[in-house]
Amino acid sequence: MEGQLALADRMKLIKPSPTLAVNAKAKAMKAAGADILNFSVGEPDFDTPAHVCAAGKKAIDEGFTRYTAVPGIPELREAIAARYAADRGWQYEADQVQVCCGGKHGLYNMAQALFGPGDEVLIPTPYWVSYPPIVLLAGATPVFVPLDENENFDLTAENLSRCVTDRTRGIILNSPSNPTGAIFSARALAKVAQMALERGWVVISDDIYDTIVYEDVQLPHILNIEPKIKDQTIILNGVSKSFAMTGWRIGYSLGPRHVIAAMNKIQSQSTSNPASISQKAALAAVVGPQDFPGMMKQSFLPRRAFIVSQLTAIEGISCVNPSGAFYVFPNFSAYYGKKFKGKVITGSVDMSEYLLEESFLATVPGAAFGADEFVRFSFATSMDAIEEGMKRLREALGKLA
Ligand SMILES: *Cc1c(COP(=O)(O)O)cnc(C)c1O
């Protein structure tokens, strides 16, 4: 009988991803005929490049459909290491690279390999939705380091120091960030590196948006700022965002050999290798022309400018101009406490629900990212949708009293 079997205690630790939940509700409303404008999606609105798809098809036609080496085919691991050497000047051997089933899976393997009960992991907040549950599933404790909108969501030494204890084992950096689009300054990263070196922390650098940066300056990276930190750093990345390959499920991680070996052990006893076909497609992405992310960025630029100007023109809303990725994270808190048809909007969940139900706008409540004042809008959608969406947003907010 359904509902009778007891679940493991760890199921009390986690909820399903709220970003996927909003997306599911919006899709259901759309299927029922509602004219939904979807700003909740966390993926590029581009198709995977043709040469990458062709490599996947070729892999099928050639019968490349069996198990591969657990950490990924050697040519892909070598190609990833070669790309980092060429683009960044960082030296990694193929056995310091793990290919896995998406960036999220890399994070999971890393947490299982490195963290356990009693360990505290620093998570700058607003954070990506999956960081706390993945840390919790490893038995460790997430510790939230507040980032201030007025500091452009940069990490400050004061906030960092306040969260450190004897149990701190590491920190998860995400720059550019999902959901804020902010990048960490060189000064903030230097501080993290200094503390990590002094205290033996592991630095997790989730670089999934590192090809989508709007600033003219080079993206500050902790490995450039303090090269000594490389032996304590795990780089998480993948092709999901940079090559519009979210459905292919290929991520990769780079780090110290013994950590990658431990992550391979976890992977060998859970998923085994990532899909053979997807690995061939990812290989084409990594060794082929690198103009695709830049092309996406060019098309995001006017959308970013437009959505930020529209949002900041609305009374009471503030919005940091994102330096990278394809999200804006406006502050809606001036509207909390207001009412529509007698119902009070108490926070970001109510606000997102109100926008979905009244205006058919799908967004993600900031509460999902540990920041209830905000609502996330993805601008990886058409300019027409953004124009119409901002019009509906103004109308919806105008109805609140
Ligand atoms: C999308 C994303 C990832 C990786 O997603 P996958 O689909 O698992 O490759 C990792 N980190 C952040 C912050 C993301 O937004």
CATH number for 193: 3.40.640.10
Nearest CA to ligand 1 atom 15: 178
Q: Are residues 209 and 306 in the same domain?
A: no
Give a yes or no: residue 4 inside a domain.
no
241 lines ligand 1 (CB under 6 A): yes
Residue 198 tokens read as 């002094």
Give the mutation target among 17, 41, 104 for probing the ligand 1 site: most ligand atoms within 8 A of CB. 104
pLDDT digits 0-9 by tens, 43-84: 999 999 999 999 999 999 999 999 999 999 999 999 999 999
Give a yes or no: residue 326 inside a domain.
yes
User: Closest ligand 1 atom to the C-alpha of 104?
Assistant: 8
Q: Are residues 209 and 345 in the same domain?
A: no
pLDDT digits 0-9 by tens, 386-397: 999 999 999 999
pLDDT digits 0-9 by tens, 103-149: 999 999 999 999 999 999 999 999 999 999 999 999 999 999 999 99
User: Closest ligand 1 atom to the C-alpha of 251?
Assistant: 9
pLDDT of residue 253: 98
Give the mutation target among 177, 207, 208, 329 for probing the ligand 1 site: most ligand atoms within 8 A of CB. 208
Q: Are residues 118 and 30 in the same domain?
A: no
Q: Are residues 82 and 199 in the same domain?
A: yes
Distance 337 CA to ligand 1 centre (A): 33
255 lines ligand 1 (CB under 6 A): no
pLDDT of residue 23: 73
Average pLDDT value for residue range 364-370: 95
Q: Are residues 270 and 380 in the same domain?
A: no
pLDDT digits 0-9 by tens, 282-312: 999 999 999 999 999 999 999 999 999 999 9
Q: Are residues 32 and 61 in the same domain?
A: no
Distance 20 CA to ligand 1 centre (A): 13
Nearest CA to ligand 1 atom 5: 103
Q: Is the pLDDT of residue 322 over 90?
A: yes
Please, how many CA atoms are within 13 Å of residue 163, restricted to the half-sphere of its CB? Answer: 24
Q: What is the pTM of this model?
A: 0.96
Give a yes or no: residue 3 inside a domain.
no
Q: Are residues 359 and 233 in the same domain?
A: no
Distance 104 CA to ligand 1 centre (A): 5
Give a yes or no: residue 83 inside a domain.
yes
Give a yes or no: residue 1 inside a domain.
no
Q: Are residues 238 and 309 in the same domain?
A: no
Bridge partners for 124 per DSSP: 145
Give a yes or no: residue 238 inside a domain.
yes
CATH number of the domain to which 356 belongs: 3.90.1150.10
Region of residue 228 (phi > 0: left; psi between -120 and 50: alpha; otherwise: beta): alpha
pLDDT of residue 269: 98
User: Closest ligand 1 atom to the C-alpha of 246?
Assistant: 7
Nearest CA to ligand 1 atom 10: 103
Average pLDDT value for residue range 205-226: 93
Select from 287, 318, 333 the last residue of a domain.
287
Give a yes or no: residue 2 inside a domain.
no
Q: Are residues 326 and 240 in the same domain?
A: no
104 lines ligand 1 (CB under 6 A): yes
Considering its fold, how many domains does the chain have in total?
Answer: 2
92 lines ligand 1 (CB under 6 A): no
Select from 256, 287, 318 the last residue of a domain.
287
Give a yes or no: residue 252 inside a domain.
yes
Average pLDDT over the chain, rounded to whole?
95
Q: Are residues 40 and 63 in the same domain?
A: no
102 lines ligand 1 (CB under 6 A): yes
Distance, CA of 185 to CA of 147 (rounded, Å): 13
Q: Domain of 25?
A: 9-47+292-398
Distance 325 CA to ligand 1 centre (A): 11
pLDDT of residue 1: 55
What does the H/E/C string look like for the chain? CCCCCCCCHHHHCCCCCHHHHHHHHHHHHHHCCCCCEECCCCCCCCCCCHHHHHHHHHHHHCCCCCCCCCCCCHHHHHHHHHHHHHHHCCCCCHHHEEEECCHHHHHHHHHHHHCCCCCEEEEEECCCCCHHHHHHHCCCEEEEEECCHHHCCCCCHHHHHHHCCCCEEEEEEECCCCCCCCCCCHHHHHHHHHHHHHHCCEEEEECCCCCCECCCCCCCCHHHHCHHHHHHEEEEEECCCCCCCHHHCCEEEECCHHHHHHHHHHHHCCCCCCCHHHHHHHHHHHHCCCCHHHHHHHHHHHHHHHHHHHHHCCCCCECCCCCECCEECCECHHHCCCEECCEECCCHHHHHHHHHHHHCEECEEHHHHCCCCEEEEECCCCHHHHHHHHHHHHHHHHCCC
Distance 137 CA to ligand 1 centre (A): 18
Q: Are residues 278 and 308 in the same domain?
A: no
Select from 266, 287, 308 the last residue of a domain.
287
pLDDT band at 19 (very low <50, low <70, confident <90, very high): low
Residues above pLDDT 90, as percent of the chain = 93
Q: Are residues 121 and 219 in the same domain?
A: yes
